[in-house]
Homo-oligomer: A and B are copies of this chain.
Amino acid sequence: MKHQDLIDACQDDWQAYTHHHFVAQLAQGSLPSTAYLHYLKQDFLFLKHYARAYALAIYKATTLEEMRRPLPSLQALIGSEMHHHVTYCQQWGLTESDMEAEAEDVGTVAYTRYVLDTGMAGDLTDLFTALAPCAIGYAMIGERLIKAPDTRIQGNPYASWIQLYGGDSFQHDVQTSIQHLDELLEPVSLVSPRGQQLINIFRTATRMEIAFWQQGLDAA
């Protein structure tokens, strides 16, 4: 099977995730800033556990090649992405200590710990399947928004979000991740119990992404 089979198998949840109201309002610039600020703070807390998941992938590796693969993501996350996130958030009046002091909201706990527990209890394919909706979904959203004629860029306070996730660098990184996932999925048959188990993981992680958007809107 391939990553597209995972997406196809949970179309309703995938649509609800990638076409969430949060995303639509972001594209239009109509998202309340309280919703966006809540999202930013939770995303900072999310990134920490996301980095832990990449460290887990190295712990779980059996070959040197498998160990080397997640290292750039881990370095990027701890070394630069969280730093960039902090810098970016300063524009919104949020300091690093604001974000560290923030309590993790339910959707943040649900998604991050689901990935970590699924990865710990299962194998590398389970782990990367649980991580996949995040990267793939953000890339699909970014690409769609940046190309859509009705996306507002000028005067949109969220334009930089759209440009980040629609930009070449992020799109390229996600293609690399997708290729890796497809290699992991290659020996698995879609209709086998194992294939159905992976679909269930992907679907659950996608549903947690929906909850993550929703908790942003609920904070407004």
Q: Is A220 an interface residue (CB 8 A)?
A: no
Chain B min CB distance to A99 (Å): 10
Q: Is the CB of A58 within 8 A of B60?
A: no
Residue from the list B48, B58, B109, B193 in contact with A64, Cβ < 8 A: B48
B-side contacts of A59, CB under 8 Å: 52, 55-56, 59, 116, 121
Mask of A43-77 contacts with B, CB within 8 angstroms, 1/0: 00000100110011111111010011001001100
Q: List 26 A-B contacts (CB under 8 A).
A: A48-B64, A52-B61, A55-B56, A55-B58, A59-B59, A59-B121, A60-B122, A62-B121, A64-B82, A64-B100, A75-B75, A103-B203, A103-B204, A106-B106, A106-B207, A106-B211, A109-B114, A110-B110, A113-B113, A113-B114, A113-B116, A113-B117, A116-B120, A117-B117, A123-B126, A187-B194
Residue from the list B74, B109, B120, B197 in contact with A62, Cβ < 8 A: B197
* Nearest-CB residue, chain B, relative to A210: B106
Residue from the list B64, B75, B122, B207 in contact with A103, Cβ < 8 A: B207
CA distance A123 to B78 in the complex (A): 21
Q: Is the CB of B58 within 8 A of A204?
A: no
Q: Is A192 an interface residue (CB 8 A)?
A: yes
Chain B CB within 10 A, most for which of A114, A187, A208: A114
B-side contacts of A122, CB under 8 Å: 60, 62, 123
Chain B min CB distance to A188 (Å): 10
Query: Can you list the 4 inter-chain pairs with the closest CB atoms, starting with the nearest?
Result: A113-B113, A55-B58, A110-B110, A123-B123
Chain B CB within 10 A, most for which of A48, A55, A116, A211: A55
Q: What interface size band does chain A fall in?
A: 35 or more
Chain B min CB distance to A137 (Å): 17
B-side contacts of A208, CB under 8 Å: 106, 109
Chain B min CB distance to A164 (Å): 21
* Nearest-CB residue, chain B, relative to A44: B64
B-side contacts of A192, CB under 8 Å: 187
CA distance A126 to B62 in the complex (A): 12
